[in-house]
Amino acid sequence: MNAAAAPLELRDLHVAFGGNRVLEGVDLTFGTGFNGLIGPNGAGKTTIFNVISGYVTPSQGDVFLAGEDLAGRSQSARVGAGIGRTFQAPRLILDATVMENALLGLQQSYRWGHLAELLRLPWSRAEERQARGRCMDMLERFGLAEMAHEDADSLPLGSQKIVEVARALVAEPRVVLLDEPAAGLGADDVTVLLRGLRGIAAESDLCMIIIEHDLQLVTSLCPHIAVLDFGRIISEGGPDDVTHDPAVIEAYLGHGFAARLEAESLGVEMTDSETPAGAE
Amino acid sequence: MSETGTAPPRPLYKPRARGVFGYSELVAVALLFGVAALLPHLPYGGLNGPYWHGVLTGILIHTISAMGFNLLVGWAGQLGLAHAGFFALGAYGTTLLYEDGVPYLAAMVILGVICAVVGVVIAFPAARLKGFFLAIATLAFGELLVKLIELGPEMWDWLDTGASGGRSVKKVFSIGESNGPLTLYFTALIILLITYLVMLVLTRGRMGRTLKAVKDIDIATGPIGIASTRYKLVAFGISGFVAAIAGGLYAQDIRFLSPASFKDNMLVFMLVILVLGGVGRIWGPLLGAMFYILIREQLASFQILRLIIIGIALMIAILALPYGFASLPSRVRDSRFGQHLRNMPLARLFTL
């Protein structure tokens, strides 16, 4: 692993579904900690995730994980290489327990095969026990340990989404892709989610990329934010830079967003000179 | 890695209900197989006669077959309908190999391996198909296998399947006429026990949850690190293996093989057992096979009318228990009646 290389780098990504060009030359570098990816619906945010996780093959461009080109790697091999992800709508086995769902995230970490499992060899069972321990620790971080042995469908939707986050993180990936993790969550759930994520960010050099429409959340969480519109990066930088960028306000935020942010006293400073010229 | 705090460690496994029957699955299984071992010796209602021996053996064989089918359809969620074809291949292949001097049980295993390999090979294209398309493609493949058995002798002399006229099967196992030993019944019982234990271990552990993921979250399996195609191949392979083993026993049970008996009605029969018993439930195959074969036998004297009665009985069963007989305990437990039961002092003994 190249120590100097960024955890995740996208170079000149192009994706087209038929005649519909979804990504048109996306260059992005993600560092450790929280990275925000925002933009209007249909901008191509989830497509970027799909490219990184290998579900969509770009027509052009490359994805580098810690300097290593991922081209040609299967989706599950990418998970083995250190990429985890969640989905906008939680995809859990509803009639399996929370623990079993979390264990799916460790699929690539098992060294012993199913034959050893079938024969109930001691080292295979020890491995399973260890995996359960790791999952329990992760569920604990997200306040789900109490419900570890409940069926997933008995959990409210918000908790199901958090289970997905735990599943994506349990294998200790290098990069994790969180697709709207806070959407549909109640305030309490968001608090739990953020506490868990911040705890992990503080303890590891994990690179987290978050797609999120809740801008207060993104701006307060992510020191680095990229804005996508019509398959192109229209702005990139810290929360202040991005929320005051005229192009972003035009395409996504709408006028008055920065003012709202200030009114809610989130520490974002705004001066008159920064309001776009075309503002009403 | 994790700090051990002051809090008591949390249970890593789901705590099991305990009680007289709750101690362990193995107790229940031992009891059940003990009963199954005694059943053909009981002098009540002709249970120790050849008629019931045949019926009981049939139940065991179809339970084994359905367990393999269940892994593919119920756990992996792949509607692969070549099961009757593999069953036929097992029945004919084992018979032919045995006539060439291979010991019968060895021939069964060889055919099991062949069907597992064929299952994996057809799973390569099949893994790209979903739902109805998979069903139709595999259905056609199963029929192709039976057609091959039927028409093969016209092309290859050595393929002594008796073509469409059928052929008799040399007796290897005693099936208990005139109070002889019940070798076939007990062979089937032992194979069923092994199959059950394998399925229990596989479906309760990592394999089971991974297959469930392949069934339930399908396209999301890749991004969370599951090589779903590999698991589909494994499921096809195991179910092919089990089908062939059950087919080998079946040939000894009915002692006359005819392609007509393996055509689509056999598949429908297998599906009915699966659905009736409970798709994706470990006890489903046994309950489905018991119900279906018993009702079929009990109604034998009604002749044509029996098909109508069976049809109505199936509809009632499916309406009453859409998840099969194996869902009955959880249905009772979750019902108001079940709540009531649990409050009774005796219930502690039985842990519903």
**Looking at the predicted structure, is the pLDDT value of residue A3 above 90?**
no
Residue A87 falls within a domain, yes or no? Answer: no
Query: In the 8-state DSSP scheme, what is residue B75?
Result: I
Q: How far apart are CA B287 and CA B62, in angstroms?
A: 11
Q: What domain range includes position A229? A: 1-82+173-280
Residue A249 falls within a domain, yes or no? Answer: yes
Question: Which member of B206, B216, B225 has the closest CB to residue A94?
Answer: B216
Cβ of B316: how many Cβ atoms within 10 Å? Answer: 10
Q: How far apart are CA B104 and CA B154, in angstroms?
A: 26
Residue type (1 letter), B324? G
Q: What is the pLDDT of residue B179?
A: 53
Pairing assessment for the beta strands A68-69 and A60-65 based on DSSP bridges:
antiparallel
Q: What is the pLDDT of residue B167?
A: 85
- Closest chain A residue to B231, measured at CA: A114
Q: Tell me the nearest-neighbour CA distance from B322 into chain A, angstroms.
A: 16
Whether residues A228 and A273 share a domain: the answer is yes
For chain B, which residues score pLDDT lower than 50?
1-3, 20-21, 352
Residue B139: closest CA among B122, B151, B124, B152: B122
Residue type (1 letter), B180? G
Whether residues A2 and A76 share a domain: the answer is yes
**Looking at the predicted structure, is the pLDDT value of residue A280 above 70?**
no
Whether residues A257 and A131 share a domain: the answer is no
Whether residues A187 and A261 share a domain: the answer is yes
Are B201 and A145 within 8 A, CB to CB? no
Strand partners, A207: A33, A175
Residue A23 falls within a domain, yes or no? Answer: yes
Whether residues A35 and A141 share a domain: the answer is no
With an 8 Å Cβ cutoff, is A232 touching chain B? no
Final residue before a domain boundary, out of A123, A141, A171: A171
Query: In the 8-state DSSP scheme, what is residue A97?
Result: B
Residue A1 falls within a domain, yes or no? Answer: yes
HSE (CB half, 13 Å, CA atoms) of A273? 0
Strand partners, A177: A85, A209
With an 8 Å Cβ cutoff, is A47 touching chain B? no
Interval A32-58 mean pLDDT: 92
Q: Residue B344 — φ and ψ, nearest 5°? A: -80, 140
Whether residues A178 and A275 share a domain: the answer is yes
Whether residues A114 and A140 share a domain: the answer is yes
The tens digit of pLDDT for each residue in A237-276 reads 998 888 888 888 888 877 666 666 666 655 444 444 444 4
Final residue before a domain boundary, out of A113, A137, A171: A171
Which chain B positions have a beta carbon within 8 Å of A55's beta carbon?
A: 219, 222-223
Whether residues A3 and A77 share a domain: the answer is yes
Whether residues A70 and A129 share a domain: the answer is no
With an 8 Å Cβ cutoff, is A107 touching chain B? yes
Give the strands of the sheet with A33-38, arranged side by side. A83-85, A175-179, A207-211, A33-38, A224-229, A232-237
Q: What is the pLDDT of residue B199?
A: 94
With an 8 Å Cβ cutoff, is A114 touching chain B? yes
Q: With contact defined as beta carbons under 8 Å apart, do B143 and B264 qualify?
A: yes
Residue A217: closest CA among A250, A248, A243: A243
Confidence of residue A9 (pLDDT cuts 50, 70, 90): very high
Q: How far is CA A230 from CA A39, A55, A62, B184, B294, in A?
A: 9, 20, 19, 69, 65
Residue A244 falls within a domain, yes or no? Answer: yes
Domain count, chain A: 2
Q: What is the pLDDT of residue B341?
A: 72
Question: Which member of A79, A134, A148 has the closest CB to residue B225?
Answer: A79
Whether residues A58 and A194 share a domain: the answer is yes
Q: What is the pLDDT of residue B166?
A: 78
HSE (CB half, 13 Å, CA atoms) of B205? 25
Q: How far apart are CA A234 and CA A26, in angstroms?
A: 10
Strand partners, B256: B168
Angle separating helix axes B50-70 and B264-277, nearest 10 degrees: 80
Confidence of residue A4 (pLDDT cuts 50, 70, 90): low
Are B224 and A55 within 8 A, CB to CB? no
The tens digit of pLDDT for each residue in A193-234 reads 999 999 999 999 999 999 998 888 999 999 999 999 999 999
Q: What is the pLDDT of residue A23?
A: 92
Q: Residue A232 — φ and ψ, nearest 5°? A: -130, 150
Q: Residue A109 — φ and ψ, nearest 5°? A: -95, -10
Whether residues A188 and A274 share a domain: the answer is yes
ipTM of the complex: 0.85
Whether residues A66 and A78 share a domain: the answer is yes
Number of residues assigned to chain A? 280
Q: What is the pLDDT of residue B270?
A: 92
Domain residue ranges of chain B, discontinuous segments joined by +: 51-171+179-350
Domain at A20, CATH number:
3.40.50.300
Which chain A positions have a beta carbon within 8 Å of B216's beta carbon?
A: 92-95
Residue A89 falls within a domain, yes or no? Answer: no
Q: With contact defined as beta carbons under 8 Å apart, do A120 and B201 qualify?
A: yes
